[in-house]
C-alpha cells in the first residue's frame, strides 16, 4: 500500500543558478515565475487559525493580578458613564405658562430660566428701588455734574432723604446706574425707551432715601425718579363729560358764539377732542399751547408710594429746570405724556387742574 507523501515547502525544486554570461537580446527571456496553484497545496498546512478575542471585565481585571511566572499583568477596564438624573415632565394644558406678577405687573413665561431671572431682578427694583452706594457718591463728588438740590427731606413716615439732579450723559458708574433705572421704568410703565434725541433735552431728578441708622451719602436707595424735558407746546386737558359713551367736543369761544348769533349765521361744529385714555375719560383739546416743561417719565418704587416723593420731585423740577425761572403747573406751564392710572392721580393732585398733555417726540 503506497504511503501518502505530504508536500511541504522543502519539496520545491531549487532555484536555477544564474547564467555566467549576460543574456542576449536574441534569446527569449525566461518564463515568468508563477505561483503554485491552490490545488497543489495542502489545506491543513500553513493555514493561520483564528484566535478568539478575550473579553476583560472589571471583575476579571481585579482578580487577574498576576500571570504565569509571577509576572504581573495590568488590565484597563473602561467604566460606563453615569447617567444623569432624569426629570419626569407632564403636560399641564389647563395651567397657562404666561404669568403676570401682581407686585410688578410684569408678564413672563413660567419655567423659562431667562424670564424668571429677569422677573426676580425687575420685581426687586420695582418694590425696593436701586442701590446708590459709595462708588456712585464718590464719582459724583470727584467728577462733578451731580447737583444736590435739597437735603434732609422728611417724608410722611418720618424717613429722610435728598434730591439730586444731573444730565443723562453723565457717564461712568452713575450713567450705568441710570441706564438700569430707565430700563426698569420702561418695563414697569410698558412704555417705549427714550430716544437719544429726547435725552439730549432732559434732566434727571432722583430721590435718594437714606437707610435707617445710616449716615447720608453712605447707604442710600433710589426710590423715585423724574425725567424733565424741554418742550415747546402741549394740549390742555378737557373737563370730564357727563356722557361717558361719546367723546366730548370743544365748546366754542364766547365771542364767536355772540357774533354768530348777532349776524344770524350758524357756527361750524367745534373740533372733536383727542382721546388720551378713554377708559379713564381723559381727553385733550387739539389746539397746541406754548408750554416750556414736559415730564416724560415719573416713577416711585411700590414700597415707598403715598409718601409725597413724586410731589417733591415734581416741585424740584419745576423750580430748577430753567435757571432763574420757576414754573407753575397751575398756569399750564408743565405737561405730562400719556399718564397711567397712578400718574393721572398725581397729575390732578399736584397740577391743581392746570397740567397739560404733550407728545414727547413731536412737541419739542
Buried b (16+ CB within 10 A) or exposed e, 48-66: eeeeeeeeeeeeeeeeeee
pLDDT in tens, 238-270: 887 533 444 555 554 444 455 545 555 566 667
Would you state the pLDDT for residue 30? 61
Distance CA 249, CA 278 (A): 14
pLDDT of residue 148: 93
pLDDT of residue 128: 86
Distance (Å) of CA 59 to CA 42, 56, 62, 71, 73: 43, 8, 5, 19, 14
Please count the other Cβ atoms lying within 10 Å of the Cβ belonging to residue 354: 15
**Model pLDDT, residue 230:** 94
The torsion defined by the Cα of 56, 58, 63 and 64, in degrees rounded to 10, comes to 30
Look up residue 6 and give its three cell numbers: 505530504
Residue-level pLDDT at 309: 95
Give the helix ranges, DSSP H, for the chain.
58-63, 113-128, 134-143, 172-189, 196-199, 254-263, 309-320, 341-351
Predicted confidence at residue 107, as pLDDT, reads 85
b/e map of 98-128 (b: 16 or more CB within 10 Å)?
A: ebeeeebebebeeeeeebeeebeebbebbeb
Given a cut of 50, the residues of the chain with pLDDT beneath it are: 58-75, 242-246, 252-256, 260
* Model pLDDT, residue 63: 47
- pTM across the whole model: 0.66
Per-residue pLDDT of 108-165, as tens digits, reads 888 888 888 888 888 888 888 899 988 898 898 887 889 999 999 999 999 999 999 9
Q: Which residue, chain included where needed, has cell 399641564?
A: 92
pLDDT, residue 62, reads 47
C-alpha cell recorded at residue 203: 434732566
For residue 222, give the nearest of 235, 205, 239 by alpha carbon: 205
pLDDT at res. 145: 86
Q: What is the pLDDT of residue 206?
A: 96
pLDDT of residue 61: 47
What DSSP designation does 60 have? H
In this predicted structure, what is the pLDDT of residue 66?
47
pLDDT of the residue at 199: 92
Give pLDDT, residue 115.
87
Confidence at residue 67, expressed as pLDDT on a 0 to 100 scale: 45
Q: Is 9 helix (H, G, I), strand (E, B) or coil?
A: helix
CA separation for the pair 304, 317 (Å, rounded): 20
- Greatest Cα pair distance, the chain, in angstroms, is 159
Closest CA to 280 of 306, 248, 244, 330: 244
In the prediction, which pLDDT does 331 show?
Answer: 93
Amino acid at each position: 500500500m503506497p504511503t501518502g507523501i505530504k508536500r511541504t515547502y522543502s519539496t520545491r525544486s531549487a532555484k536555477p543558478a544564474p547564467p555566467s554570461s549576460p543574456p542576449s537580446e536574441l534569446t527569449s527571456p525566461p518564463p515568468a515565475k508563477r505561483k503554485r496553484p491552490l490545488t497543489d497545496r495542502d489545506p491543513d498546512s500553513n493555514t493561520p487559525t483564528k484566535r478568539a478575542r478575550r473579553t476583560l471585565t472589571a471583575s476579571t481585571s481585579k482578580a487577574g493580578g498576576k500571570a504565569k511566572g509571577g509576572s504581573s499583568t495590568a488590565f484597563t477596564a473602561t467604566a460606563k458613564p453615569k447617567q444623569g438624573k432624569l426629570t419626569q415632565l407632564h403636560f399641564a394644558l389647563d395651567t397657562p405658562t404666561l404669568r403676570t406678577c401682581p407686585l410688578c405687573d410684569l408678564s413672563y413665561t413660567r419655567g423659562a430660566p431667562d424670564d424668571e431671572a429677569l422677573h426676580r431682578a425687575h420685581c426687586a427694583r420695582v418694590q425696593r428701588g436701586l442701590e446708590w452706594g459709595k462708588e456712585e457718591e464718590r464719582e459724583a463728588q470727584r467728577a462733578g455734574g451731580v447737583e444736590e438740590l435739597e437735603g434732609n427731606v422728611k417724608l410722611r413716615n418720618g424717613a429722610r432723604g435728598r434730591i439730586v439732579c444731573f444730565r443723562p450723559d453723565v457717564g461712568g458708574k452713575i450713567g450705568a446706574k441710570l441706564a438700569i433705572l430707565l430700563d426698569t421704568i420702561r418695563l414697569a410703565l410698558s412704555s417705549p425707551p427714550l430716544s437719544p434725541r429726547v435725552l439730549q433735552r432732559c434732566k434727571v431728578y432722583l430721590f435718594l432715601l437714606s437707610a435707617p441708622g445710616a449716615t447720608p451719602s453712605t447707604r442710600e436707595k433710589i426710590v423715585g425718579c423724574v425725567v424733565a424735558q424741554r418742550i415747546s407746546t402741549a394740549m390742555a386737558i378737557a373737563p370730564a363729560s357727563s356722557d361717558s359713551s361719546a367723546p366730548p367736543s370743544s365748546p366754542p369761544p364766547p365771542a364767536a358764539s355772540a357774533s354768530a348769533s348777532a349776524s344770524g349765521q350758524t357756527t361750524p361744529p367745534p373740533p372733536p377732542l383727542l382721546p388720551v385714555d378713554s377708559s379713564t375719560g381723559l381727553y385733550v383739546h387739539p389746539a397746541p399751547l406754548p408750554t416750556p416743561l414736559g415730564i416724560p417719565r415719573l416713577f416711585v418704587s411700590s414700597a415707598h408710594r403715598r409718601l409725597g416723593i413724586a410731589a417733591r420731585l415734581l416741585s424740584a423740577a419745576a423750580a430748577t429746570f430753567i435757571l432763574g425761572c420757576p414754573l407753575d403747573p397751575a398756569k399750564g406751564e408743565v405737561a405730562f405724556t400719556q399718564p397711567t392710572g397712578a400718574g393721572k392721580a398725581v397729575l390732578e393732585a399736584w397740577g391743581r387742574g392746570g397740567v397739560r398733555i404733550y407728545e414727547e417726540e413731536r412737541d419739542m
